[in-house]
Structure 1
Amino acid sequence: MLGQAKAFSSFSTNDIQQTKAFYEKLGLNVKVEDMMGEMLIMQLNGGGTVLIYPKPNHEPASFTVLNFPVQDVEKAVDELTAKGIKFEQYKDLNTDEKGISHQDDFAVAWFKDPAGNILSVVKDK
């Protein structure tokens, strides 16, 4: 039944305009729509959609809400750092000085949006 549905992901923020500016800085297609109040619709490469909605008592997700597969994690981290993005340090995941966790042929680095939600750039397979 739901196998044919065009599913989408969603998460909350405490500031729609600040969140919109942040995701636009990342180069993403984000627009504001009025659906029970202002909400963000983010179109992802490949046809996926993310709904970002305002929540006055927003609490950031304690897990990664959105992953961006990239060919070169180190290059992506350098480019995002140059745009003012700060990468997280996790001792238990052995992140290096740039915030990248390397394991065998896998690499991932985490950062947060203005609302504190966790995002990542991850090596594309």
Structure 2
Amino acid sequence: MLSASRVEANIPASDLQRARTFYAEKLGLTPTRELGGEVLMYRTAGGTAFQVYRTDYAGQAGHTIAQWHVDDIEAEVHDLKAKGVTFEVYDMPGVQWDGEIASMQGMGRAAWFKDSEGNILCVDQETSAG
């Protein structure tokens, strides 16, 4: 059953070495494994995993393809900006912006950026229950 299975993100890259460098230098991530020079596998300390794979079709999705759930979005945005990550600001109905950080009623806050391959990634902080 799928409900008992793990799910992972697959992130496309047209240049795998460029993507490896971006994920290492900008996001502080190191692959845990490489498969045939075509796939980089990552695992976070939070217990999740994703893959970056080589394809000619990278960067074509016009939507978020992966996001990291963080405890302090301001600190994450600050740290990523210090490493040269540029954040995106989108015109979305019902969203309030404070600089690069969007607030969405009942959903929390988020900030979006593109990786070296043009993929849209996100860091978000959920609204605290209570």
TM-score normalised by structure 2 residue count: 0.79
Between the aligned residues of both structures, percent identity stands at 33
Q: Distance in 1 between matches of 2:76 and 2:30?
A: 18
Where do residues 90-101 of structure 1 align in structure 2 (5 Å cutoff)?
90-92=90-92, 93-97=95-99, 99-101=100-102
TM-score normalised by structure 1 residue count: 0.82
Where do residues 9-20 of structure 1 align in structure 2 (5 Å cutoff)?
9-20=9-20
Alignment root-mean-square deviation, CA:
2.1
Distance of aligned partners of 1:7 and 1:75 in 2 relative to their CA distance in 1, 3 Å threshold: closer
Distance of aligned partners of 1:48 and 1:94 in 2 relative to their CA distance in 1, 3 Å threshold: same
The reply to whether residue 27 of structure 1 matches residue 51 of structure 2 is no
Q: Distance in 1 between matches of 2:105 and 2:4?
A: 36
On the 8 A contact 1:30/1:43 being kept in 2, the answer is yes
Matched residue SS, 2:97: coil
Offset of 1:104 from its aligned partner? 5.1
Offset of 1:17 from its aligned partner? 0.7
Offset of 1:109 from its aligned partner? 0.5
Deviations along 1:16-74, one digit per CA (max 9) or x if unpaired, are 01111111121223245234x52111112332221211112434321111111122212
The reply to whether residue 117 of structure 1 matches residue 124 of structure 2 is no
Equivalent residue, structure 1, for 2:47: 47
Unaligned stretches of 5+ residues in structure 1? none
Equivalent residue, structure 2, for 1:108: 110
Give the aligned length: 123
Unaligned stretches of 5+ residues in structure 2? none
Q: Distance in 2 between matches of 1:102 and 1:34?
A: 39
Offset of 1:14 from its aligned partner? 0.8
Distance of aligned partners of 1:59 and 1:122 in 2 relative to their CA distance in 1, 3 Å threshold: closer
